[in-house]
Amino acid sequence: YNKELIRNISIIAHIDHGKTTLVDRILEITSAIEQRKMHEQYLDTMDIERERGITIKATPVKVMYTADDGKTYEINIIDTPGHVDFSYEVSRSLAACEGAILLVDASQGVEAQTFANTYLALENDLEIIPVINKIDLPNANIQETISELEDLIGFTEEDCIKASGKTGEGVKEILKAIVDKIPAPSGDSGAPLKALIFDAEYDKYRGVIVHARIFEGTVRPGDKIMMFSSGETFEVTEVGIFTPELIPADSLSAGEVGYIIAGIKEVSSARIGDTITSADNPISEPLPGFREVKPMVYAGMFPGLPEYYGELRKALEKLKLNDPALVFEPENSPALGFGFRVGFLGLLHMDVVRERLEREFEIAVILTAPNVVYRVKMKNGEIVEITNPAKFPNDGEFEEVEEPYVELSIITPSEYMGNIIGFVTSEKRGEFKEVENAGKNRVVLKFIAPLSEIMFDFFDKLKAISRGFASMDYEIIGYRPSDLVKVTILVNKEVVDALSFIVHKDKEYAVAKKVVEKLKDLIPQHQFQIPIQAKSRGRIIARTDIKALRKDVLAKCYGGDITRKMKLLEKQREGKKRLREIGRVTIPQTAFLALLKIG
**Annotated binding residues for GTP:** 16-21, 133-136
> Does 589 participate in binding ligand GDP (rule CB under 6 A)?
no
User: Which residue stretch of 131-139, 347-355, 378-386, 561-569 sits at the interface with ligand GDP (rule: CB under 6 A)?
Assistant: 131-139
User: Strand, helix or coil at 170?
Assistant: coil
Binding to ligand GDP by residue 164, rule CB under 6 A?
yes
- Cα–Cα distances in Å, from 470 out to 52, 85, 110, 230, 488? 19, 19, 10, 42, 35
User: CB atoms < 10 A from the CB of 158, how many?
Assistant: 6
Q: What is the DSSP code (8-state) at residue 419? A: H
Q: Does 356 bind ligand GDP (CB under 6 A)?
A: no
Task: Give yes or no for residue 407 binding ligand GDP (CB under 6 A).
Answer: no
> 504: which DSSP letter?
E
Distance from the first to the final alpha carbon of the chain: 57
Q: For residue 284, how many other CB atoms are within 10 A of its CB?
A: 6
| CB of 110 or CB of 209, closer to ligand GDP | 110
Q: Is 134 in the site for ligand GDP (CB under 6 A)?
A: yes
Task: Select the residue interacting with ligand GDP from 137, 421, 448, 579 (CB under 6 A).
Answer: 137
Q: Does 529 bind ligand GDP (CB under 6 A)?
A: no
Should residue 173 be labelled a site residue for ligand GDP when binding is judged by CB under 6 A?
Answer: no
Q: Does 39 bind ligand GDP (CB under 6 A)?
A: no
Residues 6 or more apart from 455 whose CB is under 8 A from it? 297, 346, 347, 370, 372
For the chain, the farthest-separated pair of C-alpha atoms sits apart, in whole angstroms, at 107
| Closer by beta carbon to ligand GDP, 134 or else 428 | 134
Among 197, 206, 196, 195, CA closest to 265: 206
Question: Strands 233-235, 238-242: parallel, antiparallel or unpaired by DSSP?
Answer: unpaired
Q: Does 136 bind ligand GDP (CB under 6 A)?
A: yes
Q: How many CB atoms lie within 10 A of CB 35?
A: 10
Helix (H, G, I), strand (E, B) or coil at 559: coil
Residues 6+ apart with CB under 8 A from 494: none
Tell me: does residue 279 bind ligand GDP (CB under 6 A): no
The bridge status of strand 501-504 relative to strand 484-491 is: antiparallel
Closer by beta carbon to ligand GDP, 45 or else 414: 45
Of the candidate spans 132-140, 190-198, 355-363, 579-587, the one that interacts with ligand GDP by CB under 6 A turns out to be: 132-140
17 belongs to the binding site for ligand GDP (CB under 6 A): yes
- Of 133 and 253, which CB lies nearer to ligand GDP in the complex structure? 133
How is the beta sheet containing 99-105 ordered, strand by strand? 61-66, 72-78, 6-13, 99-105, 127-133, 161-162
Q: 136 or 360, CB closer to ligand GDP? A: 136
Residue 244 near ligand GDP by CB under 6 A:
no
The DSSP H or E segment spanning 125 is: none
Name which position in 1, 5, 16, 189 contacts ligand GDP (CB under 6 A): 16
Minimum distance, C-beta of residue 177 to ligand GDP, in the bound complex (Å): 17
Single out the residue of 7, 19, 349, 526 in contact with ligand GDP (rule: CB under 6 A): 19
The reply on whether position 18 binds ligand GDP by CB under 6 A is yes
In angstroms, give the least distance from the CB of 95 to ligand GDP. 22
Q: Does the protein bind ligand GDP through residue 45 (CB under 6 A)? A: no
- Residue window 75-114: x/- pattern of binding to ligand GDP, with contact defined by CB under 6 A: ----------------------------------------
- Pinpoint the alpha helices (H) of 468-584: 508-522, 553-556, 562-582
Of 39 and 461, which has the nearer Cβ to ligand GDP? 39
> Residue 237: how many CB atoms within 10 A of its CB?
15
389 forms part of the interface with ligand GDP (CB under 6 A): no
**Minimum distance from residue 582 beta carbon to ligand GDP (Å):** 55
Contact between 21 and ligand GDP per CB under 6 A: yes
SS3 sequence of 354-377: HHHHHHHHCCCEEECCCEECEEEE
166 binds ligand GDP (CB under 6 A): yes
- How many residues line the site for ligand GDP (CB under 6 A)? 15
Task: Identify whether the C-beta of residue 430 lies closer than 8 Å to the C-beta of residue 452.
Answer: no
Per CB under 6 A, 20 contacts ligand GDP: yes
Name every residue whose Cβ is closer than 8 Å to that of residue 32 and which is 6 or more positions away in sequence: none
Q: Which residues here bind ligand GDP, judged by CB under 6 A?
A: 13, 15-21, 133-134, 136-137, 164-166
